[in-house]
Each structure stands twice: as structure tokens, then as C-alpha cells.
Amino acid sequence: LLDRPRDHGPARFAARHLPMKKRLGILLSGRGSNFEAIANNIDTGRLEAEIAVVISNRPEARGLEIARQRGLNAVCIPSKGLDREVYDRMVVAELRKHQVDLVCLAGFMRLLSAYFVREFNMAILNIHPGLLPSFPGLDAQHQALEHGVKVSGCTVHFVDEYLDHGPIIVQHAVPVLEDDTVETLAARILVEEHQAYTEAIRIVLSGTWRLEGRRVIIES
């Protein structure tokens, strides 16, 4: 008979104490395209993290079904008719329940309350389909075309209690073409969003950054 492998105490101790992956909480209201990109990048090893929970304020959100198909915790907390802070306290409780380290807004169509921002101070990210501070809010691609800009893109930023306002972590630019429509420009920006969000999450989780005023300084 072959000898059975011997147990090595220190090795087994080290295995039990490997660093835990940081836990992401994804908030979405719709299709969840950026959520899917984050999940795919985790699956392929491009992002060292795990998705602890996916939360939507809309029961019909496609992202919830995608999360369930992936075997992830998917939770609907309907927001209709609820005061902003009342609702946010429910969401924060769910995030705490799943021991979330970093909250990622992925098409979450609600402005967060000051309470939510305090509870996850400098630990909430959002992605916007424009080069902030230009064209905040809805229909950023339409705003860009109407203004006649030559360059647009996407921005990943920390979330504060104001709309599309927190410190910028990553921006990716795309040219605006002469024959662009809102749909064609949005599609090219979306390709960059899928890369930029993972890049920003990786930076934040690595801890290799510091804040100077509004500037996020990424250290080498």
C-alpha cells in the first residue's frame, strides 16, 4: 500500500488562515450589464474578490435573475413608496448581514441618503456614462451629443450624498464620431465601462490609493 501523506501542522494552519477575499455588494435596478462584467472578471481571475449579495429595488430587474442563475445571493427590497432613509436602512442592514466590504452601484437608480454614505464611508462606488463633472444625471450620452463634445467616456467615482459628485477614481475616454447617435455612443462607452469598473474596484481593494482634497492619488 502507498503511504498516506503526512499531516504537516504549520502548513494546515497556514491554509486555514489564507487572506479572505473582499466581499462586494452589488446594487442594481435593471439589466445589470456592469454587474455581469464584474462577475465575469471575478470568474476569470482578473478581479480578486467575491460577490456577497446582489440587491435590487425593482423585482423585475433582469440583473436579479442573472444573479440567481449564477448561484449568487439575490435579494429584492422594493423601494416604491418608502422614504429614502427608511429604505436605505433596510439595504444597509442586508449589506451588513452579508458582511460586505465594498458597495458597487451598477445602474442603481436611486440617490443614496447621507445615512447610507456614512455607513459605508469611502466604500461605495458608482459608474457614470460620461466624463464627470460634465453631464451628470440621466441621459449623459444625449447631453454629450447635444453639447457637441468631441470626446466622451465613463467615470468610476466614490459616492457621496450628492448626484455624480464624489472623488474620481478612473476615467476612460472614447471619441465622439460625426455620425454618432445616442445608441452608438452609449454602446462604445459601455465597452469601456466594463473595463473601467473592474479597474477601479481593483485599485480600491488594493489600498494603494490616498485622497488629497478631491484627488484620488494612486500609488505605485
Q: Are 141 and 189 in contact (CB under 8 A)?
A: yes
Q: Which helix (H) or strand (E) holds 55?
A: strand 50-56
Q: One of 128, 157, 172, 194 is an active-site residue; which one?
A: 128
CA 63 – CA 157 distance, rounded (Å): 22
- Which residues on neighbouring strands pair with residue 172, listed in sequence order? 154
| DSSP symbol at 158 | E
Hey, what amino acid is at 30?
Answer: G
In the chain the first and final C-alpha atoms are separated, in Å, by 53
Please confirm, yes or no, whether 128 is among the known catalytic residues: yes
Q: Which residues are catalytic?
A: 128
